[in-house]
Structures are given as structure tokens and as C-alpha cells.
Structure 1
Amino acid sequence: MRDDRPFGGVDPPAAVFFYSRDRTAEHPERHLVDYAGILQADAYSGYNRLYAPERSPGAITEAACWSHGRRKFFVLAVVAANARERARGKTSAIAPLALEAVKRIDVIFDAEREINGLPADKRLAFRRARVAPLVFVLEEWMRAERARLSRHSDVAKAMDYMLKRWSAFARFLDDGRICLTNNAAERELRGVALGRKSWLIAGSDRGDERAAVMYTLIATARLNGVDPQAWLADVLARINDHKITDLAALLPWRWAAERESRKLAA
């Protein structure tokens, strides 16, 4: 998925969903076979070969997601299990280092909110001046504290998740197009995860692939502020008589612009 809303991108935002029957590496490799750009995601090992320098048509640039890194500390600082225990009248200790890590990472998140919606070059300039020092101090603190911890410590494991991938976590400091997190993609997947609790089955792989196409259309319309139902109803009613060489005119952002111009003309 690509979502340009967090910064002032030139192109309209869009979403693309792909179906995979399992989580093996062959699927993302097939989906991105012709892609050579930035991939912001968690540390799923199925992406590893995409980052290989010898990959054709070129290595994909890895950008780590700070929400995934923060979450590991947050779980230790305010553990869900502790919440359940407190509900039963019990109390549990909060990991002080994990809480401190969350606080330091939240300062970076707060700074990033100031540049939401700005063009990539302005985001980059702001990051170099204001965010990079915060990231540098966080890394120094984390490496110093990690050296004092046992490798079996849960906090150490949370730190290792970030420190072992630090170049990928820090990559947003050198490219204004990269977001701090991949939350935009995660939000669009939430509907799929929630829907699984209500739906039975798609019936076949082909059914799942068609569902992915529908998710692509609906999510892209929503990203562009277009009512998916109104857009699809209008497009399906007109597409049979529309020029096959100009299907791009029916894309949500162009459809919305045409509809607005018709209103103004009337």
C-alpha cells in the first residue's frame, strides 16, 4: 500500500491489496518482482531477500516501522497481562527501562506530527534539524542500557529488535518520503482482520483474489475522500460504454474531479 497523506506527495494516494494463501516468502517476492523502491514494514523474515544487493531489478530499500519497535517496549511498560491481573485485584510491576524507552520514542513521534502534510524536502530539512538529534540520543541511551542487561531480559530483546536494524529505523532521517511508521497500511488491513470474524470463506483462491481487487478499489476511493459506493455504482453503470483506452479517467481522484466540474458547470 502507498499512502501519500502523511506528506505532501504529488500523486493521489492509492492502495493495492494482494492475496496470499500463506505467509511464505515467495508471495511478497512475487508481488514485488518488478519493484525497486522503499518498503516500510515490520521485521518479517519473508522480506529479507527483497533487500539483497544482488536482487534484480535492484535491492528494495528497507525502512523499519517505529510503531512496531515502540510496541515491544509498550507491552512491557503497560503489559496487557498486567491489566488483566489488576482487574482481578492483583498488581504487577512496570519495567522502568521499557517505560523510559516509550517516553523517549514518544518525543520523536511528537516532533514528527509537526511535519504531517508537508512536502518531502521540507520534512527532510526538519528531521535533520530537529529529529535527528533525538534519534541519536535515543540510540546512545539504548546501547548503553543494553550493555548492562542479560540477553535473556525481555527489555533487552525489545532493544535488540531495534538496535540490530538501526540503519533501517534511522533511514527516515535521510528521505522525506519515508514515514515514521507503516500505520497507514496497518489501518487499511484492520478491516480485513475484523471481517474474518464475521465472514465464512471466500470459496477459493480465485475468490480471495477477487476480494483483494475489491479491497484495492474501496480503500483507494476512501483514501481520496470518495464515497466507494457512489463511485462504484456510477462507474459500473457507465463502464460498458466507456472507452477502453481511457479507463484511467474512471479512477477515484479523476472521477471526483470530473463530478465536481459538472456540478460547477450546472
Structure 2
Amino acid sequence: FQEDGRVYYGLSTLSISEVHRQFINVPITCCVRTTLKLECGVALLQEADHSALYTSVSLCISASLAFAAFLFFKVDLVLAYRKLLRHFSKQQISDGKLYDAYVSFLHPDTITSDVTANFALQILPKEMEKHGYSLFIRGRDDCPGEAVHDVIAAMVRRCHRLIIILSPEIRFSTEGETEEVEALCDNQTQLCYEQKIGVHDALTRNEPRVILVEIGSVDYRCLPESLRYIKRKQGALKWKKPSLKTNKCIKFCSNRNFWKSLRYNMPSVPSGTLHTIV
């Protein structure tokens, strides 16, 4: 017994280990008999309300699933948003850039580089330009007789992106010059200059942004530290030449994912849709 002022009362804890469902919400009369009188009370057993717990768990699971779905469909969502933005937003003012990307690749001197050239001169522009992107490709867009190094320096700095196409036949010496497995050529010297200008500006001024595209197996140990750093920092996109033995569904999905990832890394608004004020 405990004393509370002039009142004495007894405190007893009743533990019920198991309650059958037929006793839920059924009035139960409890009586306490003392030497003075008999006291009775009515009690109801009710199920615990777990709605708050269930709601919290459901919200956590839903948020986790939504976040996972966003990560999985991130590229598709961003591309869809950009497409809607072009249709409903006001026309933006040009920032002075002429092209969306400068494409740097090894011009064909071997059978392997023929695959690279076909990708750079045919497949890449055909796919990207139909989405409104403008590409500057040396050997296609430059004019004969121009000072090559001046053109390269000027055009790289007038592009939003620098797409560097890496293939197995590219090697770099310790001095930083590009060399072919069999022999050196002017195209490789120009390739080295393109990448030196673009990568230097990308690392020092954060523009143009570099996009690495791998065609085949690339040995990064033979490439400059600057390219290895970009590879570690942002990775590279891999393009595989479709094989006749490849399943059509797998071939389609593989190519589609590559192109979507490439467009995701391109400017949100193509240069062709911007308005230039004179």
C-alpha cells in the first residue's frame, strides 16, 4: 500500500500474456473488495493502433523505391524534361558557342582506325544531328588551306563539349606525343594537339566539358595522366560495333543506352535552337 496524503491505496499490475480475439471490445467487470466496501469497474480490451507505424514504414519503402526508380530512369527523365523545356520555354540567348561538340578522333591509317572514322564521320553525326546537335568534325567541317593548329584552337574553344574518341590503336609516348603502333603521321600530331588544347581548357576553365567515348578495348596506361584523371572522375561511354551474330534486341538496347547517355552529357539546349542577338 502507498499513502497519498490521507489516502491509502494499493497498486497492482495485471499482465495478460495472451488475449483471444473473442474478448476484444467485450466489457470486462473488475471488482476490488476491501473491509470497507466493494468497488467495481468496467474495462475494454482494444487492439493497439499500429497505423502510424504502418504509415511510416510505407512512406520509407515508397521513398526508397522512388529514389531507386529515379536513379534507374534518371537519364530518361532528364532527356524527357529537356524535350519538354524546348517546346514550352522561351527561346534562350546564344552564349557565343558555334557548336555543341568538337569531335576528336584518329583519322584512318589502319583497318582498326577505319572503324573509328566511320563512327566519327557517319554514325555519330547522323544520330546526334537529328536531335538538333551541331558537331564540328575535323576532316568534314574544316576548309582546305586553313592553318590547322589555328583552326583547332579556335574551334575547340567555340564548342560546348569535346568528344574524344579513344580506340585501341592510340598510344601516347612519355613526351605526350601521339604515335601509331606502326608509324607516326600528321593526323596523330593534330589529334594530340586537339586533346592538349581541349583537356587543358577543361581542367583549368571547366570548359569545354570532355566526353570520353571508347571504341574497343582501350589501354589507359598508354594515355596521358590528364585523360586517366578524366576517366577516373567521370568515366567513359562505350560504343560497340554491332556484330552480325548479336541478337537484334540486345543490339538495339545496347545502342539505345549509349546514345541516351551521350545525349545526357551534351548541352541541355542544342546550339541550333538558341537565338543570337546582333
Higher share in helix: 1
Task: Decide which structure has the larger Cα Rg and report it.
Answer: 2
Q: Under a length normalisation based on structure 2, what TM-score does the superposition of the two structures give? A: 0.25
Q: Under a length normalisation based on structure 1, what TM-score does the superposition of the two structures give? A: 0.26
Structure with more relative contact order (C-alpha pairs < 8 Å, separation 6 or more):
1
Higher share in strand: 2
